[in-house]
Chains A and B, each alone.
Chain A
Amino acid sequence: MNGHAMSRREFIRLSAISLAAGAVAAACGGAPTPTPAKPPAAQPTATKVAAPTATVAAAPQPAAGRVKVTFMVPGSQQEDADFAPVFEEFNKRYSDIEGVYTPAGTGYTDQYNDKVMTMVAGGIAPDVFKTLFPNFGTWADMGIYLPLDDLVQANPDITQFDDFFPNHIEGCKIKGKLMALPNDGAPNGMWYNVDMFEQANVKLPDLEWTWDTLTEAAKAMTKKEGNVITQYGTGRPNWLISVWSNGGDLLDVDFKKCLMAAPEAIEALAWMQNLVVNLKVSPGPQALSEQNESDRFTTGRLGTTFGVRGSLGTFRSIDKFRFDAAPMIMSNKKKRVTQLAIGWTSIWKQSKNPQQAYKLLAWVCSPEGQRLRISRGFAHPSRKSLISQDWFANYTCPKCNSKNVNMVFPEMLMRGEARVPPPHPKLAQINQVVTTELDSLWDGSKTPEQVGAAIVAKVTPLL
């Protein structure tokens, strides 16, 4: 308190200025301003796709009369960069709308869900946004999405509805209403180590492979040194895909009954348990606690693994062995149903500009909008017209064995072999119950019948 002593008048004047400044700062901070885009991240390794050149479109101020429409996806910095040309082009095409890409900064994690939900609760959600599995049914049940059927009908030219894969559109419906458009979406297939197959004299996988074929191949490729299994023949199959392919399901069509104790489901569980527990040709929980499946595959310690075409983002770096992709295997009943991971893209029900938001939504899901983004990465288009284009159909990497890495995935879609998990509002909780109960399947502490019965007992109260 040394030096100049402040008079009462000075104190009051300074206080008034401080209060006014605080009020202005609060007013500025309170408005939902667009987050400036991060600069495009550099490609980690050289790829065929072009390096990002454009910046994310986030015009400093909307031009007079332009309606601002915001968009959010749970991407990485790479994905932010991939969307840049999409928004640049949109803002050129629509002089009356300003599309603003808002980086979530969360990646594909639960933090994205938290962010969107908090924004929805706070009344500042983006006009258009993506939804992560398994929340599509949950958020639809909460009434977050604007049903799109009327907008699709009113805008046939910009929607080009018939060009979507039917499985994608089916997966975007809740109780018959279209709640999203698919921005992308990939079915699961089987990736395999070509060199490992050839060394074990096993015929390479094809369209006709069944559970039995895979089991025999896995037995031939599994290697053991002492008590340690150094190489597993196959990754662990997805439980829901196995149940579907065997004619079963998780829930009935009305979501009122859990079907995991049905013979079709039990048979699928038994096959999976046999691979892991009895034959030990697929890694169990202890082996997976050491190294996950993707790492086992990329390090050449796993014959096959299951995943979407986007796995190329990781697998393209493989330089020690040749690899390839095959359709998802069929059950022994010769039926193939695989899981489809869709990029559900929806309009917020409280959007003040639903018409303009739909134009942005339709654009990012359009063939050209998808091409601008996906040709820079490894997502799978939801558009039939894109899969024959050169950038998709002829992608190669040093150790990709054939063009199957590009074509087996859309071919499963063309045959209508993919579907999404049931969009039950409590799917996250149901999924957790099943995952926990399957622990007993993988360590052999329960029979498939006991596991199925336990799943039904715990899922039923949630329905």
Chain B
Amino acid sequence: MLVHLSPHLGIRQKEAIAGWIFASPWVIGFVVFTAGPMVASAVFAFTDWNIVQPMRWVGLQNIQTALMSDPLVWQSLRVTTIYAFVSVPLQIVLGLIVALLLNSKIRGLEFYRTIYYLPSVLSGVAVALLWRWIYAPDFGLINSTLASLGIAGPGWLGDSRWALPSLIGMSLWYVGGGIVVYLAGLQGVPTELYEAAHVDGAGWWHRLWNVTIPMITPVLFYQLVTGIIGALQVFTQALIMTEGGPHNATLFYMLYLYRNAFQYFKMGYASLLAWILFFYILALTFLVLRSSQFWVFYAGEIREK
């Protein structure tokens, strides 16, 4: 079709036009539903706006309020950061351990892989309700088990000291999603490297530490970046299981943002909170990216000392 588009156009121009035509659904979607709202929210962040009445320009007042006089912003950032900094490494380590086990040649391997991946396909709300029962103080699975050992379990979600650790523990439910990625990475490690290490007398631990982990560092890096971004946007668990309590112990940043936007109708302030989170995620991602040059290795990469 494009061959006949215009006899005056060169093949590269025709290819470019075809490319834009095929990419246009995504480009239009991005501009209208992502970039447009982002630009708009950047403007809203400097306004007092409740959606219905005309917005009022307030300059830097929202920034001043968020950073200087709203302790819940800092509380929610603290809660979210602790969650991310504990849950993401735990998910990576546990996911890697399980992936290593599932990478061995044992009978029924597909069955075990399916079992470990299964929790990842369940919806967030259903999982949250399930874990409420697991954490039930009197008759829940965990405390019943502890009671049979003579240990009095904590109040979990109803106890401000244990509510956040409970949600961190629950985050490990989704470790199966990472296992699939680790398995792909593990199976991409050349077997000749293991053979060479074996010939050199390396044991299981040395092969893991000096061959496997360096070879899958790009996978670990990917999991770390996406894990941090995901953990900083946690919302469902807090909304359904604890509503941010008790004592704001599980007031995640997104929950606080949601309250401001859709319960208090402070859309301008909520837009600012969204941008604060954006820059926070950007800064953390940048740090991880910068650190990657020290611990991420790519096949065929040659580094100058």
Contacts and interface: CB of A to CB of B under 8 A. Distances in A.
Interface of A: 1, 5-8, 11, 110, 113-114, 117-118, 120-121, 138, 142-144, 227-229, 284-291, 426, 428-429, 432, 435-436, 439-440, 442-443, 445
Contacts of A11: 1, 4-5
Interface string B279-303: 0000000000000000000000000
Interface in B232-282: 242, 244-248, 259, 262-265
B185 interface: no
A113 B262 contact: yes
Contacts of A117: 51-52, 265
Given A11-B1, A227-B152, A120 B259 contact: no
B138 A287 contact: yes
Interface in B127-162: 132, 135-140, 152, 155-160
Given A1-B3, A5-B4, A138-B265, A286 B52 contact: no
Interface in B173-187: none
A108 to B, nearest CB: 14
Given A6-B1, A144-B52, A289-B155, A426 B264 contact: yes
A287 B135 CA distance: 11
A228 B135 contact: no
A436 B71 CA distance: 14
B137 A120 contact: no
A289 B262 contact: no
Contact of A142 (B53, B152, B157, B259): B53
A286 B247 contact: no
Nearest to B137: A286
13 contacts: A1-B1, A11-B4, A113-B263, A120-B51, A142-B53, A286-B156, A289-B135, A290-B136, A428-B263, A436-B245, A436-B247, A442-B246, A443-B159
B140 A290 contact: yes
B3 A5 contact: yes
Interface of B: 1-6, 50-53, 132, 135-140, 152, 155-160, 242, 244-248, 259, 262-265
A415 B132 CA distance: 42
Given A290-B138, A436-B247, 19 more contacts: A1-B3, A11-B4, A117-B51, A142-B265, A143-B52, A285-B246, A286-B159, A287-B137, A289-B132, A289-B136, A289-B157, A290-B137, A291-B136, A429-B263, A432-B263, A436-B245, A436-B248, A439-B160, A439-B246
| Residue of A229, A284, A429, A445 with highest tally of chain B CB at under 10 A | A429
Contacts of A436: 244-245, 247-248
Contacts of B135: 289
Contact of A143 (B53, B137, B242): B53
Contacts of B2: 1
A291 to B, nearest CB: 7
Nearest to B132: A289
A234 to B, nearest CB: 18
